[in-house]
Amino acid sequence: MLEHCNCGQRYDLDFRLVDYKKHVSIDNVPVLICPKCEHEQILPQLKGDMGALLRDLPLDGEPYGLDYTDFNELAHIVYTIFTCSEVDTKDALEVEVKENCAARINTLLDLYHCANDVGDRSWMEEIEARLAQLTEQTSVNGQKARFSPA
Ligand SMILES: [Zn+2]
């Protein structure tokens, strides 16, 4: 997750308030920041989900704000660990994020089976979308790795 920048320095994690079309303020967007050359980018694992969210945001009416961690499972886990965890190294942070993602995936899979048992199609779709947020990879050879419920 905390890869190296093109300049060779390892990224730091931080969170940003992103203004979208001067209409929507999206808080707590996880970003990678290079401490050396100050290059900054949204966490690559979130780019697809962020794009989909922006496409769906209503842009009429009054400007408004939202918290990205309410909309994305991975952002929620990363933010919780970043703000609450005792870990003090980037490696320990990555390990904790991975462990929490694995635990959350297991919980969601349990829920998925419950939803399947009661035949609640829309609940299943919601869980699938959340699982995809946790398992979506940056593309490998142009192919998006997708979660497929067994
Ligand atoms: Zn750099």
Nearest to 78 by CA among 66, 68, 50, 17: 68
CA 46–ligand 1 middle distance (angstroms): 20
CA 140–ligand 1 middle distance (angstroms): 23
Nearest to 75 by CA among 20, 133, 132: 133
How many structural domains is the chain composed of?
1
CA 90–ligand 1 middle distance (angstroms): 16
- Would you give per-residue pLDDT tens digits along the chain (150 residues)? 899 999 999 999 999 999 999 999 999 999 999 999 999 999 999 999 999 999 999 999 999 999 999 999 999 999 999 999 998 899 999 999 999 999 999 999 999 999 999 999 999 999 999 999 998 644 333 444 444 444
In a domain, 20, yes or no: yes
In a domain, 145, yes or no: no
Strand-strand pairing, 24-33 and 40-42: antiparallel
In a domain, 2, yes or no: no
In a domain, 49, yes or no: yes
In a domain, 150, yes or no: no
CA 18–ligand 1 middle distance (angstroms): 21
End-to-end CA distance of the chain: 26
Specify the pTM.
0.85
In a domain, 54, yes or no: yes
Collapsing DSSP to helix, strand or coil, 32 comes out as: strand
CA 10–ligand 1 middle distance (angstroms): 8
Q: State the angle between helix axes of 73-84 and 90-118 in degrees (0 to 180), rounded to the nearest 10.
A: 140
Task: Give the per-residue pLDDT at 133.
Answer: 92
CA 33–ligand 1 middle distance (angstroms): 8
Q: Which residues constitute the domain of residue 122?
A: 12-135
What string of DSSP letters covers 78-123?
HHHHHHH----SHHHHHHHHHHHHHHHHHHHHHHHHHHHHHT-HHH
In a domain, 82, yes or no: yes
Tokens of 111: 């829920």
In a domain, 39, yes or no: yes
Distance CA 45, CA 59 (A): 25
CA 75–ligand 1 middle distance (angstroms): 23
CA 2–ligand 1 middle distance (angstroms): 12
CA 45–ligand 1 middle distance (angstroms): 19
